[in-house]
Chains A and B, each alone.
Chain A
């Protein structure tokens, strides 16, 4: 039961990260800000989960990384989607919509 919850959370976080990278490459802080701003600070990304998740996704080949110069003129690690990552995002989005739709229908019923 516990395991299932973690998977869900991790899966959700990964989906949000993939989504935020859809428009171009970002470094970790930008990803966190995009998620926060897009959800009006409803979802707060925990850094303690964000970075391990990014490295895991990099190992799985969903994102790739390169070092670039950030807006404060400092070396930063930029992530971008790979083809695999894009496919994963489509999958997860479809899956999420199915799930959310089902939960929504259940809550509206009755």
Chain B
């Protein structure tokens, strides 16, 4: 018989056994009938038949033995089976313990799985493509000034052919097209990718074919690929989509393939645009030379080697004879930019869940030990009647494994549910967290920790069985003295550890909440009420030179300002739009400052007034200054402070070292700080009049005199009166942006608070359990004390003190630990010191109150001990 037969037998063992009994019973009945037929009385017939048959139990056992495994194998299987059965039975005897232990472990495992999964998919592995850690993007410094811009398109071909540090180089760009899907026009972001991009990503189409070089040849049929999401949403996943066409801006494109979902991640990885809706980038078209580059370095090549290599290619070709060294090439790592905001918060949360997992394990260890103590009697009896130490060990082990496997299963369900809920309830600005997936490795590791805890502390009681004096224990009965002082000390240690861990978490949560409250009261530096922004793209076909652009926006602003719904209107969105880098030279000091990064924006007159920003010195641009060569700037206070500390910056001039163009400061403004947190690490800013540098799309901000949503149709009317074919996109209400800005700190604070609450709850359960247990074991002692005249108050105090002592030690250790650890929170805290005394005091008070509550009930029960009853029962 093989293992499967054995399992089959195990499954049907009950039935087989019943059938054998039935069969034998039938035989005896037939025999009785035979003897009755021969004339015997019923009684004699029965007696004779039974004597003839022998012992039916033995016969039945012999029959059943036919189905068993040979002894060597069946021994293990049978005893495993037995262990499992008795473990289930033993856990069912105390269902509250089993439920509590499973729930505790599951909480710890699920929480750590969820958070680690988030960390894994957003920080550790944000670019889910092979070799994604070797990706670079190349930027160049604009020769005329200090802007970082995308690398010159003429360079891409030579780089691809000659640069020996690159494994692959692709270009891409997002474009906006008017797409007609099911007859309806929509403004669609289209992913334009060079033929090299998909091989660089290592992505193959799930349907149809990928782009080939011929697709980009002018005059050929235009082709497009769809993203899987777009394909499923718009075409219901119909494979017949291949060969049909999609119309982009009145041009027909033949659909040649469908890309797997993974490809979407590229646009997330590039930190591009609005990622909340991945139907954006639903259509891919091939292109030859696009603005942005992504390159994959050969293994082992570092950034500066690659930059030198690229520069040399430039020099050899003399791409730009005006600049002998070639354009300064700057290499950026897309990975570094991805999820920068999330990082610190997630690391902190990860630390926090590790604490929660630890507390859960300590709690379960505590419960298992407590259970071990109360089972001392049972174990001792088992040993006394001949169960070997190994046998007892094995039973405890089976119980622990059963508990932890149940907890792991539950955690798996809980974490997938939590991730699902998180994905759907996160604010849109935290889109990076929308892509998180359960990480199976983490689930396994967390479960392994739980199993180890269960095994270790589940078996300790079994270990002790060997060490105790059996006869003494059995003589003493239940109020055993064998859990000696060392045991209660150990329980104290568990409680101390739990409380310490919970305290650290609680201090962290307290600091975050404190900081969140301040963030919510923070002045963002602008008045967002009734401010709405939108983006206008001017197609190059109709607005080719800057005069046309300037006239258009002049008219638009004029039209908007005349509208009855509008208070003010200006070009320029909230915050910055561009970056600059360079060494600044001031009028008064010829020595250039060290290289510095800046943030920039391009704005019109009345910009500061429209957004309700504060001007601290000078004035904003006049409408006359909105010309290409005005050479005026307004700077923020940190800019002024950096270069003219303590002096009035207005009227002063600066230029970038490599440029001869001087800029005159006409005004100083208070910087917009949507979130107090980002302000702490933001760069100095300067704003220029908007047509100085043409971007093709412009953000227009309008302050309306009522709810901006209601004014929107009027605004659209103004725009379309000027040009009926211009879409108005990225319509943003400033108040919502301000609200969004603290979404991340709020998320962190809420989650950390939830973890702290879980840890505190677990610790409270631990304290309660230990005090209850010690009450159970000290019943006799308390009875004696009361009989000898101890007042109820004294008993209450005694028990309370007993429970609170380890809590006190734990809280002190926790506060000290928090003092040391909270500096990791520093970058997440706004106007709150990591050592904020108020937070520590509040946490200590809350902790004390919880611990007191946890000790109170069992201590109260201790007062109700009836000495007569206790002493009689001994």
A residues within 8 Å of B by Cβ? 27-29, 32-33, 46-48, 51-52, 55-56, 59, 70, 72, 74-77
Cβ < 8 Å to A, chain B residues 18-60: 19-20, 22-24, 26-27, 29-31, 33-34, 52-54, 58-59
Q: Which residue of A lies closest to B53 (CB)?
A: A47
Query: Beyond A52-B65, A75-B22: 20 further Cβ-contacts under 8 Å?
Result: A27-B27, A29-B27, A47-B52, A47-B53, A48-B54, A48-B59, A48-B62, A51-B20, A51-B23, A51-B59, A51-B63, A55-B20, A55-B63, A56-B66, A59-B67, A72-B29, A74-B26, A76-B23, A77-B19, A77-B22
Cross-interface CB contact of A70 among B30, B62, B63, cutoff 8 Å:
B30
Chain A's interface: helix, strand, loop or mixed, by majority?
Answer: helix
In the assembled complex, which residues on chain B have CB atoms less than 8 Å from the CB atom of A52? 59, 62-63, 65-66
Could you tell me the distance in whole angstroms from the C-beta of B23 to the nearest C-beta in chain A?
Answer: 5
Could you tell me the distance in whole angstroms from the C-beta of B65 to the nearest C-beta in chain A?
Answer: 7
Most buried by B among A51, A56, A76: A51
- What CA separation (Å) do A74 and B29 show in the bound complex? 10
Chain B, residues 216-227, CB within 8 Å of chain A (1/0): the string is 000000000000
Task: Knowing A52-B66, A59-B67, A77-B19, say if A47 contacts B26 (CB, 8 Å).
Answer: no
- What CA separation (Å) do A46 and B52 show in the bound complex? 8
Cβ < 8 Å to A, chain B residues 668-709: none
Asked if B63 and A29 make an inter-chain contact with CB atoms under 8 angstroms apart, the answer reads no
- What CA separation (Å) do A70 and B33 show in the bound complex? 13
- What CA separation (Å) do A29 and B23 show in the bound complex? 9
Task: Knowing A29-B30, A29-B31, A59-B1, say if A48 contacts B23 (CB, 8 Å).
Answer: no
- What CA separation (Å) do A8 and B27 show in the bound complex? 25
Asked if A27 and B1 make an inter-chain contact with CB atoms under 8 angstroms apart, the answer reads no
Could you tell me the distance in whole angstroms from the C-beta of B17 to the nearest C-beta in chain A?
Answer: 12
In the assembled complex, which residues on chain A have CB atoms less than 8 Å from the CB atom of B22? 75, 77
In the assembled complex, which residues on chain A have CB atoms less than 8 Å from the CB atom of B30? 29, 70, 72
Asked if B65 and A51 make an inter-chain contact with CB atoms under 8 angstroms apart, the answer reads no
- What CA separation (Å) do A59 and B70 show in the bound complex? 14
**Chain B interface: which size bin?**
20 to 34
- What CA separation (Å) do A28 and B58 show in the bound complex? 17
In the assembled complex, which residues on chain A have CB atoms less than 8 Å from the CB atom of B66? 52, 55-56, 59
- What CA separation (Å) do A32 and B53 show in the bound complex? 12
Task: Knowing A29-B31, A48-B59, A52-B62, say if A77 contacts B23 (CB, 8 Å).
Answer: yes
Asked if A76 and B58 make an inter-chain contact with CB atoms under 8 angstroms apart, the answer reads no
- What CA separation (Å) do A76 and B26 show in the bound complex? 7
- What CA separation (Å) do A52 and B53 show in the bound complex? 13
Could you tell me the distance in whole angstroms from the C-beta of A90 to the nearest C-beta in chain B?
Answer: 24
Asked if B29 and A47 make an inter-chain contact with CB atoms under 8 angstroms apart, the answer reads no
In the assembled complex, which residues on chain A have CB atoms less than 8 Å from the CB atom of B29? 72, 74
Asked if B23 and A47 make an inter-chain contact with CB atoms under 8 angstroms apart, the answer reads no
Most buried by B among A27, A28, A32, A55: A55
Q: Which residue of A lies closest to B58 (CB)?
A: A48
- What CA separation (Å) do A33 and B27 show in the bound complex? 11
Asked if A47 and B27 make an inter-chain contact with CB atoms under 8 angstroms apart, the answer reads yes
Could you tell me the distance in whole angstroms from the C-beta of B31 to the nearest C-beta in chain A?
Answer: 7
- What CA separation (Å) do A77 and B597 show in the bound complex? 92
In the assembled complex, which residues on chain B have CB atoms less than 8 Å from the CB atom of A56? 66
Q: Which residue of B lies closest to A46 (CB)?
A: B54
Q: Which residue of B lies closest to A31 (CB)?
A: B27
Cβ < 8 Å to A, chain B residues 273-314: none
Q: Which residue of A lies closest to B60 (CB)?
A: A51
In the assembled complex, which residues on chain A have CB atoms less than 8 Å from the CB atom of B59? 47-48, 51-52
In the assembled complex, which residues on chain A have CB atoms less than 8 Å from the CB atom of B34? 33
In the assembled complex, which residues on chain B have CB atoms less than 8 Å from the CB atom of A46? 54
Could you tell me the distance in whole angstroms from the C-beta of A98 to the nearest C-beta in chain B?
Answer: 29
Could you tell me the distance in whole angstroms from the C-beta of B104 to the nearest C-beta in chain A?
Answer: 48
Q: Which residue of B lies closest to A27 (CB)?
A: B26
In the assembled complex, which residues on chain A have CB atoms less than 8 Å from the CB atom of B65? 52
- What CA separation (Å) do A52 and B67 show in the bound complex? 10
Asked if B23 and A28 make an inter-chain contact with CB atoms under 8 angstroms apart, the answer reads yes
Asked if A70 and B53 make an inter-chain contact with CB atoms under 8 angstroms apart, the answer reads no
Between A and B, 26 residue pairs with Cβ closer than 8 Å are A27-B23, A27-B26, A29-B31, A32-B27, A33-B34, A47-B52, A47-B53, A48-B54, A51-B24, A51-B59, A52-B62, A52-B63, A52-B65, A52-B66, A55-B20, A55-B66, A59-B66, A70-B26, A70-B30, A72-B29, A72-B33, A74-B26, A75-B22, A75-B26, A77-B22, A77-B26
Could you tell me the distance in whole angstroms from the C-beta of B513 to the nearest C-beta in chain A?
Answer: 70
In the assembled complex, which residues on chain B have CB atoms less than 8 Å from the CB atom of A59? 1, 66-67
In the assembled complex, which residues on chain A have CB atoms less than 8 Å from the CB atom of B53? 47
- What CA separation (Å) do A33 and B23 show in the bound complex? 16
Could you tell me the distance in whole angstroms from the C-beta of B54 to the nearest C-beta in chain A?
Answer: 5
In the assembled complex, which residues on chain B have CB atoms less than 8 Å from the CB atom of A27? 23, 26-27
- What CA separation (Å) do A105 and B22 show in the bound complex? 46
Could you tell me the distance in whole angstroms from the C-beta of B706 to the nearest C-beta in chain A?
Answer: 86
Could you tell me the distance in whole angstroms from the C-beta of B757 to the nearest C-beta in chain A?
Answer: 60
Q: Which residue of A lies closest to B16 (CB)?
A: A55
Q: Which 7 A-B pairs have the closest CB atoms?
A: A29-B30, A52-B62, A55-B66, A77-B23, A55-B63, A29-B27, A76-B26
In the assembled complex, which residues on chain B have CB atoms less than 8 Å from the CB atom of A32? 27
- What CA separation (Å) do A45 and B481 show in the bound complex? 62
Asked if B1 and A29 make an inter-chain contact with CB atoms under 8 angstroms apart, the answer reads no
Q: Which residue of B lies closest to A58 (CB)?
A: B66
- What CA separation (Å) do A48 and B33 show in the bound complex? 20
Could you tell me the distance in whole angstroms from the C-beta of B664 to the nearest C-beta in chain A?
Answer: 103
Cross-interface CB contact of B26 among A29, A33, A48, A55, cutoff 8 Å:
A29
Q: Which residue of B lies closest to A57 (CB)?
A: B66
Q: Which residue of A lies closest to B22 (CB)?
A: A75
In the assembled complex, which residues on chain B have CB atoms less than 8 Å from the CB atom of A76? 23, 26
In the assembled complex, which residues on chain B have CB atoms less than 8 Å from the CB atom of A28? 23, 26-27
